[in-house]
Structure 1
Amino acid sequence: MSHPEVKSKWFADFKKQLPRVDGKVFAITGTTSGTGYVAARTAAENGGIVLLLNRRSERADKSLASLKEAVPSATFEQIDCDLQDMDSVRKAAEAVISKHPEVYCLANNAGISAHEDKATKDGYDVQMQTNHLSHFLLTSLLLPSLEKGADRHGEARIILGGERGNLGGNGDGFFGSPNFERYDQTKLANAVFTQALHQKLQAKESKVKVLSCHPGASSTPIIDGIPLKKDLWLLSLFNYALQSAEDGSMGLLTGMMGEGVKSGELCGPNSWVHCLNGPAVSVPARAVEKDPAMMELLWEKSEEACGAFVV
């Protein structure tokens, strides 16, 4: 399916509640469209300095121009960051640190879904590297800058892309297919990484918060090509629940800018139908996300791929 135009229901009122973030540095991956674009625009409108971490492309150039037109007084900086190339991620981190040694928020927003089983140049599944491994690497490299940001502002934030649906995949979900099973596994990795990093930072009494945020069923490019099973009632339900990119960004923006959020929480819609739409709320982590053995395994395998992550 391709994403249709959907009107926003809650975003206008939600946006009024967000605080000013003047002078705070936000590094956001995946801002060329969808929730990442809305988050970048909104952070800038509220006074933030916004670093746009995207793969070099015409889309990235066009979105940068669009953001500058939308918020002429804001500071936007484009930083080349290809999440399917770990060398590119390392260079992006170096660029961020050289210009902004104090970062308030790293929003690991970028993601892909339902892609074929193929390897990146680094040798990892394209979805797992894009959605988890490269964000694990980027977070490890920028953590010292986030600690400095926390010293300056009283706190800093790390955001991971979460999920309230079929974590890990089991073959019988709405989108059952091998390609989407791998996507579900990346979302489980994000969720477990959130809890593992949260616990490690809490143990050292860090002022850096770690949150997971999910968009529900948002009409953005990530849903293009999702292989919905040929059940008309499921397709109708999904289309009925679909919300706008603005509404879908509320969980992400709550994690990035919202007041009173707690480290380790998931921010996003919590509606009756698989949490597909609705206002963003804070939801406690589920048991599977906090399993000690899973956290240890994820950390070990992620370090094997990306190098040591010193907290």
Structure 2
Amino acid sequence: MSTDDWSTTDMPDLSGQTAIVTGANSGLGYEATRALAGHGADVVMACRDVERGEEARKEIREAVPGASLTVFELNLADLDSVRSFAERFRRERAGLDVLCNNAGVMAIPRSETADGFETQFGVNHLGHFALTGLLLDVLRETPGETRVVTQSSGVHERGEMDFDDLHGEASYDPWDAYAQSKLANLLFAYELDRRLRAASASVRSVACHPGYAATNLQRRGPEQRGSRLRLLLMQAANAVLAQPADRGALPMLYAATAPDVDGGDYIGPGGFMQMRGAPEKQSSSDASYDRESARRLWSVSEDLTGVTYDLPTPHE
């Protein structure tokens, strides 16, 4: 199917399906939640701030009467919170059809998570690695083909995995750390796909990126640095170059629902410089397909999080 004009109206009926969206209270996660619920899915809104999550839930319910939405607390910067979320989900839901690993932080001053990880690497990659691993058996046991969708960024192309200084303790640059975390998202998504295939599992691991979408994500770095100039420049760039958040969510929604999506695909906007436009299948950087780096990252991630996957290691 051509994706030249693909939009949420092309999404299939999702009645009877359950989805999790991390970071569901704003930006891309909010728009994805609204679209998934609008097509009949029961959506669990995984939010760090439950109060803001409830406000978003009420807004969506007003726009989509009858939408099935529940807010669960999830702080990806705290592995205890990730485990608590997974335990609650298991108690309250019988299956999981789509897991959207969407939440993230971007180009913030160096800080650490509750577990001592550099925050961007900890939230963007390790938190989602742990969450996916803790829910993998639910995904595998749910009838039909289920999906894990991991949100990356075009900025991954400048990323390098510094395994000697993953947490930026020796040197730290906010954008380098963000790029590393977004490269890690892709290495994880592709390695997960290879391991799922080796296990003949009916779960697809798909990656995506939103292009340049106007969300609150861009505000946090300048705000935390106290830089009004950077904030004004970011706001101006958003106004001129960015597409709206509902358009930026389309690659994630396509990855989550389109019938022609395969495990290992990378979905992004096909317009100007891959920053805007309708979703399409794309290729990511050469570094993102490096299997040796992917296996090394997988091993390190299991060690750091204490979460292991019951999946075979794929052979070359």
TM-score interval (norm. to shorter): 0.7 to 0.9
> In the alignment, what sits opposite 1:6?
none
Aligned twin of 1:167:
157
For residues 22 and 133 of structure 1, do their structure 2 counterparts lie closer, same or farther at Cα, with a shift above 3 Å needed?
Answer: same
Given the superposition, is the C-alpha separation of residues 237 and 71 from structure 1 closer, same or farther in structure 2, using an over 3 Å criterion? Answer: closer
Given that 1:101 and 1:148 are in contact with CA atoms closer than 8 Å, whether structure 2 keeps it comes out as: no
* Alignment deviations for residues 159-198 of structure 1 (CA, whole Å, 9 cap, x no partner): 111223343537xxxxxx9111111110010010011101
For residues 267 and 254 of structure 1, the distance between their equivalents in structure 2, rounded to whole angstroms, comes to 8
Partner of 1:144: 137
Does 1:292 find its partner at 2:288?
no
Could you report, residue by residue, the CA deviation over 1:211-249 in whole angstroms, capped at 9, with x for unpaired residues? 11111110100111556999xx99987753310001000
Distance 2:213 2:204 in 1: 25
CA distance 1:238–1:245, change in 2 (3 Å):
closer
3-state SS of 1:66 partner: helix
Q: Which ranges in structure 1 are unaligned for 5 or more consecutive residues?
A: 1-9, 171-176
Q: Cα RMSD (Å) of the superposition?
A: 2.6
The SS at the match of 2:207 is: strand
In 2: Cα distance, 1:211 partner to 1:19 partner? 18
Instruction: Say if 2:146 and 2:204, in contact at 8 Å, map to a contact too.
Output: yes
Greater Cα shift, 158-167 or 91-100: 158-167
With over 3 angstroms needed to count, the CA separation of the structure-2 counterparts of 1:234 and 1:88, relative to structure 1, is: closer
Deviations 1:46-82 (A, max 9, x none): 0100001111343222112112222221211111111
Query: Could you tell me whether the CA contact under 8 Å between 2:211 and 2:248 is conserved in 1?
Result: yes
Q: Match of 2:108?
A: 115
Aligned-partner SS, 1:114: coil
Distance 1:17 1:255 in 2: 13
Counting only pairs closer than 5 Å after superposition, residues 4-153 of structure 1 correspond to structure 2 as 14-149=7-142, 152=143
Aligned to 2:305: 306
| Alpha-carbon distance in structure 2 between the residues aligned to 1:88 and 1:238 | 32
- Equivalenced residues, count: 291
Three-state SS of the structure 2 residue aligned to 1:165 is helix
Name 2:254's counterpart in structure 1.
254
User: Quick one: which amino acid aligns to residue 303 of structure 2?
Assistant: E
* Secondary structure of the corresponding residue to residue 106 of structure 1: strand
CA distance in 1, matches of 2:212, 2:234: 13
The whole-number CA distance in structure 1 between the counterparts of 2:108 and 2:194 is 32
Q: Which letter maps to 2:210?
A: P
2:17–2:96 Cα contact (<8 Å) kept: yes
TM-score when normalising by structure 1: 0.87
> What CA deviation, in whole Å up to 9, does each residue of 1:26-58 have, x standing for no partner?
011001111110111111110100001111343
Q: Could you tell me which residue of structure 1 aligns to residue 147 of structure 2?
A: 157
Residue of structure 1 aligned with 2:210, choices 215, 233, 236 = 215
TM-superposed CA distance for 1:13, in Å, is: 5.9
Tell me, in whole angstroms, the C-alpha distance in 2 between the residues paired with 1:67 and 1:282.
29
Distance in 1 between residues matched to 2:131 and 2:125, nearest whole Å: 10
For residue 240 of structure 2, give the secondary structure of its aligned residue in structure 1.
Answer: helix
Query: What is the identity, as a one-letter code, of the residue corresponding to 2:93?
Result: H
Distance apart, 1:267 and its partner CA: 1.0
CA contact (8 A) 2:5 2:278 kept: no
> Structure 2 CA distance, aligned partners of 1:98 and 1:207?
23
1:240-251 aligned at under 5 Å gives the runs: 240-251=240-251
- The residue correspondences of 1:263-278 to structure 2 (distance < 5 A) are 263-273=263-273, 275-278=274-277
